[in-house]
Amino acid sequence: MKRARPTPPPTATITTRSSPRPPPTPPPPPPPRHSSRKHQNLVFQPTNWAPVNLTQSELSLPLTFPTGQTFRWKQTGPLQYTGTLGPHLISLKHHQNGDVYYQIHHSPSQSAAKSALLSFLNTNISLTEMWHEFAAADSRFAELAQHFKGARVLRQDPLECLIQFLCSSNNNISRITKMVDFVSSLGDYLGNVEGFEFHAFPSLERLALVTEQQLREAGFGYRAKYVTGTVNALQLKPEGGVKWLESLRKLQLQMVIDSLCTLPGIGLKVASCIALFSLDQHHAIPVDTHVWRIATTHLVPELAGASLTPKLCGRVADAFVSKYGKYAGWAQTLLFIAELPSQKALLPSVTVNEKKSSKKRGSKAQRGN
């Protein structure tokens, strides 16, 4: 085995094979890999990782982050995702044994960052126990759960979740992500991880400074008026828009849906997404064409062939709750993920018809449709 030659000092001439080796000299420290002139002091390299105390059965990062719940977390390495929670910049990754570890890149408080992370991941809820109950009630869920372990529902900041799903209406994941990235860039810069720049989500006051025209120029299309209209409506809430949204966590689901639907651009499906992914409404069922297909195939086959209406959305939601109980939204999330073309490959056997159907759906299978 050949020994590696020591790195020459910066002023030395690089030697050839026939030249004598220079005396060992400590190499100069390498420059940051993805430095930014604008924010050079906030470029991060891996340091210490700490366990979240969640196994892969409790949290699978690839089955949780890129599957339509949130569009703000970036894949920054193999089985590694990075995002912001308030003023905290955090990475998550799977260890070799599958357990999940976290790393805090930037935060005013390490303890506050960990607390925010545990809340965001809904760690007080046992996915394993929940899925055991679902599997006992539904043999199909039991089969799918073997291949999609760890698909967890997140508990996002309500304002952040609301704006993201306003962007999702009749949209695809790539375009939604670009729109959400534009909104995110309006917030405070927190750092650079593996070439991605991260910002705290902008405050309601900062969002209020953005005009409809600016959003249209950024590619929001007709959604621009809904974003500005909703921001304005939230600012008019006597207790403040953020507190009003947080107060919805204490209400019954139907009151939450009705309240959200008073905001511009928010209909039943988007309201259900916001309720499930940020407002502790664990039995909320966002019904789109994909969930409708799941329901009419496996839960309410008598509705097959009917047109999807708000009334029938209610019947589908009731069918899910009747089957899976108070955490029906978590069951629906797993069934939705199993329908994504990118995830169907994990299943050992797919019928010819299912394969053809999956190809036709293509990239449309996401929360925006």
Which residues, other chains included, contact 61 with Cβ-Cβ below 8 Å and sequence gap of 6+? 79, 80, 81, 92, 93, 94, 100
Instruction: Tell whether the torsion through CA atoms of 360, 161, 199 and 119 is positive or negative.
Output: negative
Look up residue 254 and give its amino acid: Q
Is residue 269 part of the annotated active site? The answer reads yes
Rounded-to-integer distance, Cα 138 and Cα 219, Å: 43
d(CA 80, CA 76): 6
Give the tokens for residue 43.
């470029």
Q: Which of 269, 326, 344, 360 is catalytic?
A: 269
Q: Are 57 and 149 in contact (CB under 8 A)?
A: yes
Helix (H) or strand (E) holding 76: strand 74-77
The burial class, CB within 10 Å (0-12 / 13-18 / 19+), for 228 is buried
d(CA 72, CA 156): 11
**CA 193, CA 43: separation in Å to the nearest integer?**
6
Do residues 106 and 89 make contact, with C-beta atoms less than 8 angstroms apart? yes
Task: Report the C-alpha dihedral over residues 201, 203, 206, 212, rounded to 10 degrees.
Answer: 70
Give the whole-angstrom CA distance, residue 185 versus residue 205.
15
Pairing of strands 43-44, 189-193: parallel
DSSP E strands in 115-260: the ranges are 189-193, 196-199
Residue numbers annotated as active site: 269
